[in-house]
Structure 1
Amino acid sequence: MSDLIVRPAEPTEVAALLDFWARAAKGTSVSDDVAGVTRLLERDPEALLVAEQDDEIVGTLIAGWDGWRASLYRLAVAPEYRRRGIAAALLRAAERRFTALGARRADAMVLDANPEAHLTWQASGYEREEQWRRWVKPLTEL
C-alpha cells in the first residue's frame, strides 16, 4: 500500500478514533472515552499510531513505552481494509519506535476470543506466552 501513511494521532482526532474503534476493534477498554484517549495523547503524543489512506483512518495501534516495557494495544484495522498489510505496517512502525527508545521486547494485549487477531500477531513474529495471565483491578471505583 504505497499511499498508506502511518503517523501519530492528533488530539483533534479523539472522537474519530473512538468511532473507529467502535466499528473496527474487538472488545472495549475502561479508557475508551474522550478523557482516556486525551490523557494518552497528553502523556505520550507519539504512542497512538494511526494508519491513514486517502485522509481516512484505516487502522490504529497504541505503542506505549514506560521506560521498562514496550506494550501494544488496540491494533485495529477497518474491516473493509483488512488483509492489505495495514496491521503489519503499524507493527513495523511501533517496533521502530520501541527500538529507538531502547526497548528490548514488545508485549501485546490480545483477546483470547479473537482468533483472527492471533493469526495476525503470529504472522508478525509474536508468540503467546502461556505462563502469564493478566490481572486487573479497576481504579475508577476507588
Structure 2
Amino acid sequence: MPDFDLRIRQGRGDDVDRLLAFWREAAEGVSVTDDRDGVRRLLERDAASVLVAEVDGEMVGTVIAGWDGWRCHLYRLAVRPASRRRGVATALLAAAERRFLELGGRRGDAMVLDDNALAHHAWKAAGYAPQAEWTRWTKPLT
C-alpha cells in the first residue's frame, strides 16, 4: 500500500481537462480518443470506470476500468512520475479489480504499449502477463 494518504475516487464531469493534462504528463502514447469530446463521453457514459488517485486533492494516478458486460478492460494506467514506485498503481489496479468483481467480471485485460518497458514491470508486478496468442486488431473510425 502507498506510504502516504492516497484517496481513490471515480471520475467526474469536471475532470475532462485535468485528465487530459495529466495523461500528457504521466502516460505514454496518445489515442484517437484523447480529446475533450472523447473523455467527456466516457465520463457521461460510465464515470465509475475512471478511477482517479489523489493525494491532498492532487491527481497522482489514473486507470480506466471499463466493463462492457462481457469483458473487463484496463486502459490509461498512469502515475505522476514523482509518485511512482510508491504503491499508486497497485492501489488503482486493486480498486479496478474490485469494481470488476462487483460487476461480475472474470478476467481483466490491459492495453500496454509494446515499447513501454516501465509499464511492463508494473503490470507484471500486479500479476498480469502478455497473452502471446492474441494480437490487437484496430480500425480507425474517423
TM-score range, shorter chain: over 0.9
Q: Within 5 Å, which residues of 2 pair with 1:30-41? A: 30-41=32-43
The CA distance in 1 between the partners of 2:55 and 2:135, in whole Å, is: 36
SS at match of 1:76: strand
Alpha-carbon shift at residue 120 of structure 1 (Å): 0.4
SS at match of 1:135: coil
SS at match of 1:112: coil
SS at match of 2:63: strand
Q: 1:7-48 deviations in whole A, cap 9, x for unaligned?
A: 101110110110000000000010001100010011112011
1:122 aligns with 2:124: yes
SS at match of 1:17: helix
Q: Within 5 Å, which residues of 2 pair with 1:1-142? A: 1=2, 2-140=4-142
The CA distance in 1 between the partners of 2:68 and 2:98, in whole Å, is: 16
The CA distance in 1 between the partners of 2:67 and 2:139, in whole Å, is: 21
Superposed structure 1 runs of 4+ greater than 2 Å apart? none
Q: Give 5+ residue unaligned stretches, structure 1.
A: none
Alpha-carbon shift at residue 127 of structure 1 (Å): 1.1
SS at match of 1:57: strand
RMSD (Å) for aligned C-alpha atoms:
0.7
SS at match of 1:63: strand
The CA distance in 2 between the partners of 1:87 and 1:45, in whole Å, is: 19
The CA distance in 2 between the partners of 1:45 and 1:18, in whole Å, is: 15
The CA distance in 2 between the partners of 1:113 and 1:69, in whole Å, is: 25
> How many residues end up aligned between the 2 structures?
140
